[in-house]
Structure 1
Amino acid sequence: MAKWKIPGLAARPRFTSRATVLVLVLCSLVAILAYPARQFVSQRAEIAAQRAKADHVRQQVEELRRERARWQDPEFVKAKARERLHYALPGETPFVSVDPQRTAIAHAPAPAGQARAAKPWFTGFWDSVDQADAAGPPPTVAPASH
């Protein structure tokens, strides 16, 4: 098919100057607003994270307040003392059950590492000084030539 040209009409450009200016203005607005929008979104996420952290801390505080209130009760304190410290009330006979297998392990001879730990700290220190002195001087290394 042949293109028909109408006399007196010039070919119109694809974009007019107004459309080009409008596109440039819109692109510049998008470029200008992109960074603040990104900052806004990241700050909102940070605020949400801080609120979640604050809620978690509030829950911990409430738990600690409940625990403190339990420790204000004398019966709770007595029960904990009996449980942890093996206290007994006057007139009671406390019993402690002992596992025979554990006592056999406890009376077994200690390995060399545990025997060393039973010594005072300064004995181990002087032993290490003596070992370092007995080792002799460090080997000399020849300087590298460049």
Structure 2
Amino acid sequence: MAVKDRDRFSTATRIRLIGEQTAARVYRSQTKRQARRSRLTGRAALLALVVCSMVVALAYPMRQYVSQRADIADLQREQDAARQRVERLRDLKARWQDDAYAEQQVRARLHYVMPGETGYIVIDPGAAEQPRADRGSADRPWYANVWDGVDRSDAAGR
């Protein structure tokens, strides 16, 4: 029977029949692929929507968390610096409790002398040739710096 059918149909009819069968197969495979693709696209869209909503929901709290952690770190650094400063001040207070240290500081800073001693202030001959503003204030006694400040403010007022 297959031989009779083949003889009965012309070549053009056979080619047309093969084309229709191929088109039907292609159409069925495209329909399946589109159905599968649309199903995956819907799932992907839902997943993307869930991920985006999670990101939006967690963005502000995460920013606040990071900001607060940075603030905590800054405050801890400040606290450590304050502790170190307190320790230095306690050490300085303990030193000033010692009479020998206080006497040494009074002699050095205020140029005090003990009864029976003679105090001298040695002036560098080269320093006298320099203008007053160029001389370092640390090299001179405190009262000279105070008096120079008074002179400068008086001259600025004129």
TM-score by length of 1: 0.62
In the TM superposition, residue 105 of structure 1 has moved relative to its aligned partner by 6.0
Question: Is residue 2:104 matched to residue 1:79?
Answer: yes
In the TM superposition, residue 33 of structure 1 has moved relative to its aligned partner by 0.7
**Corresponding residue of 1:50:** 75
SS of equivalent residue, structure 1 residue 5: helix
Question: Is residue 2:64 matched to residue 1:35?
Answer: no
In the TM superposition, residue 86 of structure 1 has moved relative to its aligned partner by 1.2
Deviations 1:39-62 (A, max 9, x none): 111111111011111111111111
Residue 89 of structure 1: which of 86, 103, 114 is its match? 114
In the TM superposition, residue 35 of structure 1 has moved relative to its aligned partner by 1.5
Instruction: Pick the structure with more helix per residue.
Output: 2
RMSD: 3.2
In the TM superposition, residue 74 of structure 1 has moved relative to its aligned partner by 0.3
In the TM superposition, residue 103 of structure 1 has moved relative to its aligned partner by 4.3
- Consecutive unaligned residues of structure 2, counting only runs of 5 or more, are 1-21, 132-150
Deviations 1:59-88 (A, max 9, x none): 111111111111111000100111111111
**Corresponding residue of 2:12:** none
Q: How do residues 1-146 of structure 1 correspond to structure 2 at under 5 angstroms?
A: 4-5=25-26, 7=28, 10=32, 11-16=34-39, 17-103=42-128, 117=154, 124=158
- Consecutive unaligned residues of structure 1, counting only runs of 5 or more, are 107-113, 125-146
Task: Pick the structure with greater CA Rg.
Answer: 2
Greater shift, 29-38 or 85-94, is seen at 85-94
Deviations 1:101-125 (A, max 9, x none): 444668xxxxxxx799369x6xx4x
Once residues 116 and 53 of structure 1 are traced to their aligned partners in structure 2, the CA distance between those partners, rounded to angstroms, is: 38
- Percent identity of equivalent pairs: 41
